[in-house]
Structure 1
């Protein structure tokens, strides 16, 4: 008993198939707005692994490496990336905190640490621009206040002025911090959803 005959194609059919194979595949659909809205900062999400965070940072159009990539193994991710553009005249460096399982649970943006005489000028300008930027991204803040007074910052303190609820869960907090005699403007993206913050 003979098996089924192999299908044969005429010249016209073969040309159609070859043309179809030569055509580019349809472009992939962009991510939905809901997926983008759930990002914490840029394309980072809470729960990302270190490997995912590194890959996203390297592909980012918002941040860039400030150390040689070969040195990442020595220095780690903290402080190794910064914003490509100035915010209020200053670049912001990225810092990360991880769960015990190695998953992302906090992202913070910090300016370079500057002395007290820069606090009411450069750091305040950066703070004001960040407040505008975060409001553009996340809507009106749930709570807002003035730029934290220099005198209210004790060594090691971090005082908040604004906070926003994130669409995908979590909170963005804007404020300033002191380390010894140096000061920074800080934005923290945390997993917790706050009800209120203490504003000096």
Structure 2
């Protein structure tokens, strides 16, 4: 909720006052999530960085219009998706690319102090379980669990129903938690953190 309020405040400052500091703050706040999302499509960190830059350039160009945008975070994820798919299509000389046809790379990172207590074997099991998820399921898992998006936001970004997002996330959680030995469940409290709310 705090991030939503911060984004709304930055959105107003950009739209009303052309505030470059607010624009830079918004960029820093959302860059990591947008970069991971773009990378999952374009498979190149450099290209993903370009895609995010293009997204923010376009945002600045449309700064007067963004007051009409209800959810700027979702708006930026959709814009990033479109730029990523356009790049992917250009590179592969395809006329039409569907998100569900892409092989989404694993981009979930376990890098907070709590995860550092987990053995490499368990982390490898978690990563293996995530890699085995179908691409759309893996992407939904990333957007909800890594980027903290709500089901409705993910549904808007990916053009899916909220029910589909909820079901795909439940499948992902079930498969990822099934990869863990029972004795680690209590230590990780993984199921509680990764259960749909």
Q: Flag whether TM exceeds 0.5 (same fold).
A: no
TM-score between the two structures when normalised by the length of structure 2:
0.30
Larger helix percent: 2
TM-score between the two structures when normalised by the length of structure 1:
0.30
Task: Pick the structure with greater CA Rg.
Answer: 1
Larger strand percent: 1
